Structure 1
């Protein structure tokens, strides 16, 4: 491949991924861009600005001579959690940012994209910068998934339950029979291997010892979770961790996020608006406490992340992020990079639980069976589901 064709491929990949973020926001009204209902949900316009800030801050400013910063205040506005970079708007205040306006942020994106395209075609774009560019593109894809989850939360908590899209999903198909796949005791290897991109928390590949285990060939469905609810699952402490039972009582929890009991039946807010529950669809938007309680009710458990990865080639995955029974901790030989990039994953390796797989909100090409997602145990606004093990 010639240098010219390599450059064209880089520019196309960059522009395609950047365009996708704006396509996700296309159905929104201007008012939708600014809302922050809870601390975990960021306004869509903040996502659009933050992902742009990433390329400006980490690629253009240090590597493109004579680059002119679009707005000197944006470093304060769009820095997410990088202590190395300096002060930032408190996360809870992102919804108070009526300025910069949505139109300002789209102008910011256009400006940085033009500069990035020029940079990618210049002699300043060296092989040494390619890993950082790849990180930036994957970072944008992560925020595309967050855009989908945050937009759903914003619209799903609007009292009118407005639809994000009028495009209907295909009719629900029959659910696959539940089977438990058996794996023998032994030494296995997990972690990223081969060429291509991965995040630092997927390294390094290492051996693990597993005892005999079984894991389900499919995810738990809405209908199965409804059985748990109707059997009194949210009213019986014996299925719950102590912390989970405290969460149930404090929040008067009784169903997955977006489920509403209306006129004697359960309804579910989806991207198409409020709909009847689809019994055969994988249950979604449940937290670790709920996933663990359901597994306990079934006389089973959640898989560890090691079991999940070893077994993942033998079942279909990708519809829901799947809770595991594993704490989010560094792999052996994990190494944080120097500088701000080193803050990307390592600083969060405490009080978090690993999820594996991907979801319907995950961008194409952004999933692999070594991907280690992580969230706190009480969170449920992500597209999370349950796979049983024993």
Structure 2
């Protein structure tokens, strides 16, 4: 059994108000990310891994026009001439700076025009009778799409050179002392995925029963201090801990630490959104690839959790036998639950957020850092692509690994206990960390 989504219980008037609030809140974040730098930074490509910020901004408007203005609203195209420029499958990120993109002024005018038409549409669009609009799904999809690009733009900010451009309060520093290093998660069946969450995306569906065996899971994500022990032990130089693909990547790139770290005499430093600072030992490690996470886990005598193990730890409530929406229950994430929504510009110390604890006792399963799992990105039994194949289906296969839980840069609208992210195992610019799992030893089974 899975919990139900409170959004499904809203009346039409309240649903329209909720959508309007989410659209406005999301656009405010996009404005912060694009107005914090000058036009030169907006059109510059800060890394071949990323698009220019101005491309992301206009792409947000293009997708909103395609799905809401044209499809839901049935209105004529505003800028059909730019459809191909902002089709993510037509041009690689590395090639986008050479395209005749809208400039900063024109891009802002375009997204504002689209949004004005969307607000007009929201007042009159039917929110029932068609799957795309049922419970305002198309609007929720666009909110999530923009928030996902906001996180991408935040990653671009991390890659840009120059002084800090963004500000935020520090995360809470209070942590519970004496937490156990790991928690036990009993085996058995649970409901994975969802068929009840109105704004859930196609790869999260449908809900289905999955059995996992007993396992232990780290109480918190692996910290910088723990990861430094792996570095100091020569972990980057010992092929025993690496898969064949991971070791080949390690040799090819020469990486010796998480991205944005360097060694300065007796201490490790990192660059974080323009700030240079000592690596804080108590924070979850971030900007590590799947290969690095897998190697650390092997060195520690553990492994990465499967996606099913991660979700059972995060959602299953043994007291009720059902899967929650979030580790703490069914309520929407608040600042007491998790580090989300760019509220802070760094992970909180491991052991923070007691209000977000899962039934198994694990902390910070939502927010702070995306967590690599051992699982390839694949469809659930009964998967059906909706509303287009290119969101999920074209990425299924062994090339991508699943990440779970969201990061400090993920918005609550695009993060829930069923939400699935995926990326290449070499990726390090994303806000990704990990926690380890292990199978019980023989003596622990008796």
**Conserved? CA contact 2:73–2:125, under 8 Å:** no
**Conserved? CA contact 1:300–1:389, under 8 Å:** yes
2:391 corresponds to which of 344, 347, 352: 344
CA distance in 1, matches of 2:22, 2:111: 16
CA distance in 1, matches of 2:51, 2:57: 10
CA distance in 2, matches of 1:11, 1:207: 35
What residue is the counterpart of 1:91 in the other structure?
93
CA distance in 2, matches of 1:216, 1:331: 26
User: How far is the alpha carbon of 1:92 from its aligned partner?
Assistant: 2.0
What residue is the counterpart of 2:290 in the other structure?
288
Q: Number of residue pairs matched?
A: 376
User: How far is the alpha carbon of 1:227 from its aligned partner?
Assistant: 1.0
User: How far is the alpha carbon of 1:193 from its aligned partner?
Assistant: 4.5
User: How far is the alpha carbon of 1:94 from its aligned partner?
Assistant: 1.4
What residue is the counterpart of 1:48 in the other structure?
57
CA distance in 2, matches of 1:203, 1:29: 41
CA distance in 2, matches of 1:336, 1:65: 22
Matched, 1:365 2:373: no
TM-score under structure 1 length normalisation: 0.89
Query: Cα–Cα, structure 1 residues 166 and 209, in superposed 2: closer, same or farther, change >3 Å?
Result: closer
**Conserved? CA contact 1:172–1:278, under 8 Å:** no
**Conserved? CA contact 1:175–1:280, under 8 Å:** no
Query: Cα–Cα, structure 1 residues 211 and 63, in superposed 2: closer, same or farther, change >3 Å?
Result: closer
1:75 corresponds to which of 76, 83, 86: 83
Query: Cα–Cα, structure 1 residues 255 and 133, in superposed 2: closer, same or farther, change >3 Å?
Result: same
**Structure 1, gaps ≥5 residues long:** 82-87
Q: Secondary structure at the match of 1:332?
A: coil
TM-score under structure 2 length normalisation: 0.79
Matched, 1:250 2:214: no
What residue is the counterpart of 1:266 in the other structure?
268
CA offsets 1:5-55 (integer angstroms, 9 cap, x no match):
544443333222222211222322222212324443121111111111011
1:118 corresponds to which of 117, 120, 140: 120
Q: Secondary structure at the match of 1:122?
A: coil
User: How far is the alpha carbon of 1:60 from its aligned partner?
Assistant: 1.1
User: How far is the alpha carbon of 1:123 from its aligned partner?
Assistant: 5.1
1:206 corresponds to which of 199, 205, 208: 208
Q: Which moved more, 1:260-269 or 1:171-180?
A: 171-180
**Structure 2, gaps ≥5 residues long:** 1-9, 315-357, 439-446
